[in-house]
Amino acid sequence: MPSLPNPESKPLDHLAEIGADDSPALVLRNRTLSFKDLRDRVARLSGWLRDRVPQEGARVATWAAKNELTCLMPLAAARAGLVHVPINPLLKHTQAAHILADSGAVLLLGTKARLESLESGDLPAACKALDENEVLDALDDVSAPLPPSQRQTDELCAILYTSGSTGRPKGVMLSHANLWLGAVSVAQYLGMESDDVTLGVLPLSFDYGQNQLLSSWYAGGCVVPLDYLFPRDVARACAKYGVTTLAAVPPLWVQLTELDWPAESSAPLRRLTNSGGALTEELVEGLRGIFPQARLFPMYGLTEAFRSTYLDPDLVATHPTSMGKAIPFAEIMVIDDDGDVAEPGEEGELVHCGPLVAQGYWQDPERTAVRFKPAPGASHYGGVAVWSGDRVKRDADGLLYFVGRRDAMIKSAGNRISPQEIEDAARATDLVAEAVALGVADDRLGHAIHLVVRAAPGVEDPKDHLPKALAKELPNFMQPHVIHWRKVMPLNPNGKLDRTAIAKEILGELGT
């Protein structure tokens, strides 16, 4: 049962109204905005947007690094009755052009360099592009700033495009209520306070990254947006700003645990949060060793429903591989192949019900119908649910455990194998820092198991030792048939291991 079964939401732009006037809300490179400043700038930016784009529900896109404009746009566009479409600044012009065309954006605000990278035909005829600095310079002259809105909370206010790991990026439609309740939920279970300082290292086009802003502001806290070049930049920023909350995805955590953390960087941290992939037991141990005073929150989510589960930090040591239980406002069900609620210990599909469920994929009814379907009959919330495609188990205590994605399973010699299990075993040897297992079509086996790895720093002769170590940990049918070594593993724009790119690379090398 959800911990808060009767959620109430407000228009998203009301998040600017919560913090104390003189409390810091946003730390930029050249100045700090208090909550009073935040309220003024959101009012002015929303007034500017209303003047330029008077059509209710029109899409406005941003394509820029983390700065004042990209941080204010989620609230300002919502107040102006527009739909914000953030484009990951790491994307190239081709991907940006697809998002602009697919969303039907009528306005693109971006950095000069990114706008200049657009080629002929990239910018739709109905879309106007403006340098972000022109917009910010114009805000002081806005004659009619907009007051807090009274919008219906089921109105569409954002479209977040997935990273496109399974084809062309698709836009997930989010309402005021989706984003507001996501902020409330996370602020509650993380125990965030008005004196918290969140370091925003994740892309604002990523639901996890954007929520760092929204949940911090709901708690009346402060956000320091950071576009880092090197992992050590994160550690330095933690010391400089007294960061209390740090969120990351596993590949970044791996890099951060390979650093030497001085006390001034690590001591202020109160909480660490992880999503975008499971933490390994070794990584959990490393984080707890570097940040013994910080509470570690492993989490699971999907853009279509924002966040589904978190593991209570008090259980991390005893249940390090668990996904935990449902977050506030989420009802998480495990449904077996017959459509019934699975018994404890029985594998089934994770189904997310409740008010965090998005409104579907933008202009894509076919893919929407596949993922967004009626909730199971036993659901407390009912309505439309997200059928994740992820296979999980729930134990007798209600804790969830990830098994794998149905479409990612490797079927080799008649065995159904979870790539994650092989990857976990490889990392557990301490010989590799990162690992991706995949199945490659094989006439004899169905799939041959290929393992792509990056060696752990300072390990001597890992290529010689890894096969022997895996032979000790995995049964014969799970042994990799081929191991590929990489000095660098490709990441997608959200900082996760890019499994699609890795698979394409391996298939290219094999000539298949």
Angle of the 250-257 helix axis to the 231-241 helix axis, nearest 10: 80
Q: Which helix (H) or strand (E) holds 177?
A: helix 176-190
- Token pair 């969120």 is found at 247
Q: Is residue 235 part of a domain?
A: no
Q: Which residues contact 475 (CB under 8 A, 6 or more apart)?
A: none
Q: Is residue 115 part of a domain?
A: yes
Tokens standing for residue 29: 């490179």
Q: Which helix (H) or strand (E) holds 322?
A: strand 322-326
How confident is the prediction for the chain on average, in pLDDT? 93
Average pLDDT over residues 448-453: 96
Range of the domain at 171: 9-176
**pLDDT over 70 (residue 189):** yes
- Token pair 């030497």 is found at 260
| DSSP structure string for 191-210 | T--TT-EEEE-S-TTSHHHH
User: Which band of pLDDT confidence, cut at 50, 70 and 90, is reported for residue 2?
Assistant: very low
Dihedral sign for Cα 369, 374, 376, 377, please. Answer: negative
Average pLDDT over residues 398-406: 87
Task: Give the pLDDT of residue 413.
Answer: 75
Q: Is residue 286 part of a domain?
A: no
Question: Model confidence over 282-309: pLDDT tens digits?
Answer: 899 999 999 999 999 999 998 999 999 9
Q: Is residue 413 part of a domain?
A: yes
Question: Model confidence over 207-240: pLDDT tens digits?
Answer: 999 999 999 999 999 999 999 989 999 999 999 9
**CA-CA distance, 310 to 302, in Å (whole number)?**
13
Q: Is residue 462 part of a domain?
A: yes
- In the chain, how many domains are there? 2
CB-CB contact of 208 with 247 (8 Å): yes
**CA-CA distance, 252 to 436, in Å (whole number)?**
15
Average pLDDT over residues 352-378: 96
Task: Give the pLDDT of residue 6.
Answer: 61
| Domain termination site, one of 176, 205, 229 | 176
Task: Give the pLDDT of residue 477.
Answer: 82
Q: Is residue 355 part of a domain?
A: no
Q: Domain of 64: which CATH number?
A: 3.40.50.12780
Average pLDDT over residues 134-139: 97
Q: What pTM was computed for the model?
A: 0.86
**pLDDT over 60 (residue 12):** yes
Angle of the 250-257 helix axis to the 281-290 helix axis, nearest 10: 50
Q: Strand pairing of 384-394 and 348-353? A: antiparallel
Q: Is residue 455 part of a domain?
A: yes
Average pLDDT over residues 122-136: 96
Average pLDDT over residues 394-415: 84
**CA-CA distance, 185 to 190, in Å (whole number)?**
9
Q: Is residue 262 part of a domain?
A: no
| Domain termination site, one of 176, 195, 218 | 176
Q: Domain of 440: which CATH number?
A: 3.30.300.30
Question: Model confidence over 63-77: pLDDT tens digits?
Answer: 999 999 999 999 999
**pLDDT over 60 (residue 30):** yes
Task: Give the pLDDT of residue 249.
Answer: 87
User: Which band of pLDDT confidence, cut at 50, 70 and 90, is reported for residue 199?
Assistant: very high
Task: Give the pLDDT of residue 507.
Answer: 93
| Domain termination site, one of 145, 176, 207 | 176
Average pLDDT over residues 110-130: 95
